[in-house]
């Protein structure tokens, strides 16, 4: 079998596994396998693939799983798999759009009172990302101090590689933390939470922060210069704290 033919068969096999209603012929012709055997063997691969993807989603979204229960979760995961087949061999990176399936699901009567699920899923995905994203290099404190003595309006901070922000209209961090500690019977009053998720010294962390601190980090994320940040918040006073937390990964000086 030539390399081009092998590649054609691989593409056809992946398509047949991910789209069971599509006939498996075409690229799989000429392999010397009878049609009934092709269907049977594809079914085995399909079950294994679906099972692995659902297991990966269970691992990434343990609190969503605990809230809705295993049977409901697996049904939602199957819907997600049908809408967003895995395209990456590393299943640790699978599931970034699971919140979209939950956003549709919460309109159903059986999800009454669970309107926070999409935001909870987003938080769990950011928690997953924080583990796998690369570390930042050492912060150039000397160079940064020199840049500040120049023109602060041209200095732009950057968030750390593992730092992500989530502005939730529901108390998803409180719900998430309670479930992680086995406290599943509490009543959670409504409330907005501004959340930072990051990794520091190989430890993942998530915290609710005050509006001013979140606003500053959001400005950094949007690429505002230090001069623009200082005009709307006590940026310079809070900067040492942000550096200690590992929320600031670097800076650049605009030309």
Cβ burial 179-210 (10 Å sphere, 16+ → b, else e): beeeeeeeeeeeeebbbbbbbbeeeeebebbe
What is the pLDDT at residue 230?
Answer: 80
Q: Which residue has the tokens 């056809």?
A: 12
Question: Looking at the whole model, is its pTM more than 0.85?
Answer: no
Within the chain, strands assigned E span 155-159, 164-168, 193-200, 203-208, 248-253
What is the pLDDT at residue 40?
Answer: 61
Q: Which residues contact 174 (CB under 8 A, 6 or more apart)?
A: 188, 191, 193, 208
- Which three-class secondary structure state does DSSP give residue 76? helix
Cβ burial 9-45 (10 Å sphere, 16+ → b, else e): beebbbebbbeeeeebeebbeeeeeeeeebeeebeee
φ/ψ of 200, rounded to 5, equals: -140, 125
Residue 216: how many other CB atoms lie within 10 Å: 25
Q: What string of pLDDT tens digits covers the 255 residues of the chain?
A: 566 655 555 555 555 555 545 554 455 555 555 555 656 666 555 566 788 999 999 999 999 999 999 999 999 999 999 999 888 888 899 999 999 999 999 999 999 999 999 999 999 999 999 999 988 989 999 999 898 888 878 899 999 999 999 999 999 999 999 999 888 777 788 899 999 999 998 899 999 999 989 999 999 999 999 888 887 656 678 888 898 999 999 999 988
């Amino acid at each position: 079998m030539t390399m081009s033919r092998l590649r054609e068969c691989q593409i056809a096999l992946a398509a047949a596994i991910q789209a069971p209603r599509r006939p498996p012929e075409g690229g799989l012709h000429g392999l010397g396998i009878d049609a009934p055997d092709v269907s049977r063997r594809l079914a085995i691969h399909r079950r294994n693939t679906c099972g692995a993807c659902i297991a990966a989603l269970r691992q990434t979204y343990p609190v969503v799983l605990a809230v809705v229960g295993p049977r409901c979760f697996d049904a939602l995961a199957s819907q997600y798999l049908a809408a967003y087949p895995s395209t990456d061999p590393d299943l640790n990176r699978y599931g970034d759009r699971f919140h979209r399936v939950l956003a549709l699901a919460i309109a159903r009567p059986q999800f009454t009172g669970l309107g926070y699920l999409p935001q909870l899923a987003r938080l769990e995905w950011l928690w997953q990302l924080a583990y796998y994203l690369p570390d930042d290099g050492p912060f150039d404190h000397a160079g940064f101090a020199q840049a500040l003595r120049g023109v602060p309006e041209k200095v732009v901070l950057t968030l750390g590689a593992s730092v992500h922000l989530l502005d939730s209209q529901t108390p998803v961090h409180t719900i998430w933390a309670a479930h992680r500690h086995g406290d599943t019977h509490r009543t959670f009053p409504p409330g907005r939470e501004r959340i930072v998720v990051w990794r520091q010294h190989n430890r993942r962390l998530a915290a609710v922060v005050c509006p001013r601190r979140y606003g500053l980090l959001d400005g950094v994320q949007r690429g505002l210069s230090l001069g623009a940040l200082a005009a709307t918040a006590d940026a310079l006073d809070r900067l040492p704290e942000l550096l200690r937390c590992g929320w600031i990964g670097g800076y650049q000086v605009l030309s």
